[in-house]
Structures are given as C-alpha cells and as structure tokens.
Amino acid sequence: MSEYDETMSANDLDVATPLDGASVAEVYKSIRQIKSVLKNVILRAHLPSGAARADGSISAASLADGAVNSAILADLSVLLRHMAVDSVGAEQMLDNSIETAHIIDGAVETDKLAANSVTSSKLDRDSVDTNALRKSDTDAVRPVTSDTIRNDSVTDEKITDVGLQKLTGGADGDMLFKVGGVWTAVNSGGDLTYDPVTGLFSVASGLDLATFGDQKTSATNGGDGTVATWNQRDLGALVDTSNIQTFIGNAFTLLEGEYFFYAEVPACDVGLHRAKLMKTASSDSAETTVVLGTSINSISRDTSTSILCGGFEVTDVNDTYEIQHYLTSSVVAGRDFGEAVGDGELEVYTRGWLARLGG
C-alpha cells in the first residue's frame, strides 16, 4: 500500500511540483500523488464493477453545466424530492406531456381553469348535476330558459304543481270536464250559470213563460160576437220576460220550441159556446186547430168559460196564432164576450199563459 492510498484528494495536490530540473525521486513522488487522487475519485464515483454509485458520491460541484441530459437519466430516476421548488416551469414542459394519470385527484381547482376552457365536448354525459347549476343566480340570468328546453321534455312526472294562474286559453264561463279520458273545456252557458259575486252556480228552470189576456178599461164589456161562426178574440201580451211571444194585432208568433198552452175564454148569455187556439198563417198556408177548448153553455145572462189546455211544437217562427170563439146565440149587444163589473179596476176577460219547454 502506498503512502498516499486513501489519503489524498484533489485539494492535496501541489500544482507547483515537480519543478523544472527536479530529481527522479521528486517526479516519482508527484506521479504517486496523482494516481492516489485518481483512485480515490474513481472509487467514490463507481462500484468495483465500474457502475456508478447511488449514494450521492458525485456532488453538483463535480458536474459541469449541462453534463447530465435526458439520455443519462434512467426512467423515473428523478423524484419530486430531487427537484427544487419552482424548478420546472411551463417552458420546461413539452406539449401534451402531462396526462390524466399524472394529475392527482382534486389537484385542478376552479382558479386553475381559464375562462371558457371547459366546453360541452369536454363533459361526459351526466357529469354535471343540473340541480347545482347557478343556484345563487337570479331568475333573469339562470341558464335554463323556455327556449333551451326541448319540446315534450317536461313530462307529467317532472311537474309537481300547476297554479290556476298558469292555465290559459278557453273562454269566460268554460269549465273542464273529462270526456273519453281527455279534459275538455265546456262552457257553462245555457241553463247553468255562475255568479262570480256569490261564487255559486245556478240552474235555469228550463221554462220560458209568457202571459197574455184581454184587458179593457173599467165598465167596458167584452164585446160582440157573430153567431154560428168562429170569432177572433181580443188579445195582448201581459208579461213576457223571455220574449218568446210577439203580437201582431190580436194574433202572435212564437219562437221555435215545444210549448204548453193554457187559456180561459169567457162568454155571457150566448148559449152553447167553445174556444180554440188556431194557427191561421203558416209556411204551408193551411189553417190548423192547435188546442181545442171545452164545450160550455151560457144562458140567462150567466157567464161561463171555455178552457183551453194542451201542448204543441213550433217549427216555423213565421206561423201566426190566435184564439177564436164560437157562439150559438147573442142576447145583449156588447156583452157576448163578457160583462163588465165597473169597480174602477181593469176588466179582465180572456186570460192565459204559455210555457216554452227547454228554453
């Protein structure tokens, strides 16, 4: 073993020796020093087999700038602990060099994303919870609006409640009825009406009523008739709130519909007599007896009444109706159709009413 084994380093070398003209012994000494330093350096950096040591024996000071490149480094040999803080910047990284596998879960936060950097093509189906979309935004800036909803996408199971103020369409008086499994708007007009003040429904009686009669001033007799013929009786409207009856002189027309008719037709001291309701003008120009009254006798100044009671149907609004009366005698002029009382009130002779069914 030489005197310099395991003892000398590069710092121990005397760069001034050997001097020019040095003896052989001095030259030999310098050679031995150099060999000792080389041996120590090589042993520190390499194993006996010649492989580089892994104990960090080679310091940064022993390496030239740029001496270690990627070809020198084994795969995955540089760990995070070998890297100084902020030593790797964007310019040190190749494009597409960082893949998903290199990113720790939760490492990419919102402030790391550039504006508009995440587009719809980057999102997997069902990756976004729609319930979490802009919960704090006002209605005016919410992302889901009516024009962003696909047709037929809002189904029954998506709707929890619909307020009445959301229902549109229809007309005043419409109500919803389920007909054949479909809700249908039906108007409440006709016999069924609704009072918005009371909030109640009411049903009409289904009858249109009108009253009529022969009224004269007090102390005025009913008038003369002609024996053995049908006489037209005086007649006029009394009450007709539904306007179903229109008088033309002593005759009248009616709205189309089914009718029930009743009248009392008096006579005084005329012997046998009877009244009837007659259709005197019609589209077929044929006179027709509509309701025939009872046969009655009136003698010795007695007053008796022929009663008319029956039903009929009007199919033509141009048909004209009147009450006619048949007498078998006439005793006192002016009182054949009734004798006045003279009590200061109106004298009432013929009187009656009619009802239009289902009006």
Q: What is the DSSP string of 271-293?
A: EEEEEEEEEEE-TT---EEEEE-
- Please, are residues 254 and 212 in contact by the beta-carbon 8 Å criterion? no
Q: Which of 296, 287, 219 is nearest to 264 (CA)?
A: 296
| Fold observed for domain 207-357 | Jelly Rolls (2.60.120)
Give the span between the Cα atoms of 89 and 94, in whole angstroms.
11
| pLDDT tens figures, 175-203 | 888 888 888 887 776 667 777 788 887 76
Question: What is residue 1's predicted lDDT score, i.e. its pLDDT?
Answer: 42
| pTM, entire model | 0.49
Mean pLDDT value across residues 149-174: 83
Q: What is the mean pLDDT of the chain?
A: 83
pLDDT of residue 264: 98
Q: Which residues contact 334 (CB under 8 A, 6 or more apart)?
A: 221, 223, 224
Which of 21-25, 224-228, 303-307 is the least confident region?
21-25
d(CA 177, CA 357): 26
Question: Residue ranges of the domains in the chain?
Answer: 1-111, 207-357
Do 255 and 356 touch, CB atoms closer than 8 A? yes
DSSP secondary structure of 228-245: TSEEEPP-EEEE-TT--E
